[in-house]
Amino acid sequence: MSFDAITNWWQGNERMIALLMDALGQTLTMVFASGFMGFVIGIPIGVLLHLSKKGGLLHNHLLNKVLGIVVNIGRSIPFIILLVAVIPFTRFVVGTTIGTAAAVVPLTIGAIPFIARLVEGALLEVPSGLVEAAQAMGAKPQQIITKVLLPEALPGIINAVTITLVTLVGYSAMAGTVGGGGLGDVGIRYGYQRFDGTVMMITVVILVIMVQLIQSIGDHLVKRVDHR
């Protein structure tokens, strides 16, 4: 399967190209929509996990334990099982259980605990002295979170965003199971089931480029905000 084969194939397969373009759009939708919502919900949970720890700003043993267990359960369920397990919830949220929008729901649910743990880790790297200094200068807890903890953990949080998006690219390949479409789905149906090696190759190449791009942009942003 040389590169020439791909270019020749590309010229003679307009319908397949349209299909791939559609699939690319679906993958991007799934990754970024679920990534976005995952962060909207996951970051506060990560912050809460950090703050409720022993010696934390809002120390609460029970809350910390419960959150920790819920997050661990979320992270231990294989994504392919989660995908079908949450079908009733998906129907409740988007009204249907098939299609790209339907795939976003389990992807988001899968991403939340992942993000929460990564954000918790990023916050852990903020020296406790900074929180203490903020307390000493009369910062309210909410001010400590928004003005000290989150800005200081920003490089780590951006890193968490990058890792999560890359992971979601991988997860989204399984979304075909519920008719979510996307590049992974095309790869399986056309490449694997119809023995079309070229299509398989193209989808893999596009996914590789996508992951590389996400990682490079993420690294670049970390470098820009990191003044440590």
Note the Cα 199 to chain centre separation in Å: 26
Note the Cα 196 to chain centre separation in Å: 30
What DSSP state is assigned to residue 57?
T
Q: Report how far apart the first and last C-alpha atoms of the chain are (Å, whole number).
A: 47
Q: Which of 5, 40, 130, 208 binds other proteins (CB under 8 A)?
A: 130
Stretch that binds other proteins, among 76-84, 111-119, 147-155, 187-195 (CB under 8 A): 147-155
Stretch that binds other proteins, among 26-34, 112-120, 128-136, 160-168 (CB under 8 A): 128-136
Distance of closest approach, residue 42 Cβ to other proteins, in angstroms: 21
Question: 150-172 and 100-124 are packed helices; what angle lies between their axes, rounded to 10 degrees?
Answer: 140
The residue type of 226 is D
Q: Which 3 state secondary structure label does DSSP give 144?
A: helix
Q: Which of 1, 21, 66, 133 binds other proteins (CB under 8 A)?
A: 133
Stretch that binds other proteins, among 34-42, 46-54, 81-89, 133-141 (CB under 8 A): 133-141
Q: Give the number of other CB atoms < 10 A from CB of residue 77.
A: 15
Residue 151 touching other proteins (CB under 8 A)? yes
Note the Cα 28 to chain centre separation in Å: 12
Distance of closest approach, residue 56 Cβ to other proteins, in angstroms: 15
Stretch that binds other proteins, among 43-51, 91-99, 136-144, 196-204 (CB under 8 A): 136-144
Residues lying near other proteins in the complex (CB under 8 A) are found at 127, 129-130, 132-140, 143, 147-148, 151-152, 154, 225, 227-228
